[in-house]
A and B are shown apart, each in its own frame.
Chain A
Amino acid sequence: DAMVIQNPRYQVTQFGKPVTLSCSQTLNHNVMYWYQQKSSQAPKLLFHYYDKDFNNEADTPDNFQSRRPNTSFCFLDIRSPGLGDAAMYLCATSRRSGSAYEQYFGPGTRLTVT
């Protein structure tokens, strides 16, 4: 089945130790997104790509970087994780439906910072 895959599902890292979260898709969608979601809150968009065009949200900390080497893969790098970066990180892709885009989400990676 076509899907969005995130690895790992659970990640524990130490304060200040760089960490990379991975996302892959078999849907061949042009657009990929990274969201951060803290407990009982709405998903917050960090950045998104249209093909290789990268779009950073104005309030995304510099500590967060992203790479999209090809259509299928996208990575989220957190250069120096702080305790406040502990959250669920959601990857999504979208396909165009008329003038709208329906999003398909992966299961998420829960990041713990110790």
Chain B
Amino acid sequence: SQQGEEDPQALSIQEGENATMNCSYKTSINNLQWYRQNSGRGLVHLILIRSNEREKHSGRLRVTLDTSKKSSSLLITASRAADTASYFCATGSSGTYKYIFGTGTRLKVLA
């Protein structure tokens, strides 16, 4: 069964705006990762946040993790048309290298 549920399922914004997508999960995790997938392509790793971290930044990406609420958010600031893609969260448990992917958010950035 899927671990993560993401919302919104789809998001359409103007270039330059910020995009926020959320991931909720059900069981305890060791770490959570975010991936991007361009249409018809493989997934690209964006950022990893561990269960003892609350926030991480990478360029225009900001990820937060609230283990008490079992949720994470991905913020993309100053979005560009090239950010148009699907974004997935993936959760990993301690002692395993298996990850369960969330349902994904389809982001469309309009130029």
Residues of A within 8 A of B (CB): 4, 6, 31, 40-45, 48, 50, 55, 88, 90, 92, 94, 96-108, 110
Distance A88 CA – B101 CA, assembled complex (angstroms)? 15
Q: In the complex, which residue of chain A has the Cβ closest to the Cβ of B4?
A: A42
Residues of B within 8 A of A (CB): 2, 4, 30-31, 33, 35, 40-45, 48, 50, 88, 90, 92, 94, 97-104, 106
B92 touches A101 (CB 8 A): yes
Distance A106 CA – B45 CA, assembled complex (angstroms)? 12
B43 touches A100 (CB 8 A): no
B31 to chain A: which residues have CB within 8 Å?
Answer: 99-100
Interface of B is mostly: strand
* Contact among A4, A94, A107 with B97 in the assembled complex (CB-CB below 8 Å): A94
3 shortest interchain CB distances as A-B pairs: A105-B42, A100-B31, A42-B101
A42 touches B88 (CB 8 A): yes
Among A41, A45, A100, A108: residue with most chain B CB under 10 A? A100
With contact pairs A97-B48, A106-B42 given, residues A42 and B97 touching in the complex (Cβ less than 8 Å): no
B100 touches A102 (CB 8 A): no
Q: In the complex, which residue of chain A has the Cβ closest to the Cβ of B89?
A: A42
A90 touches B42 (CB 8 A): yes
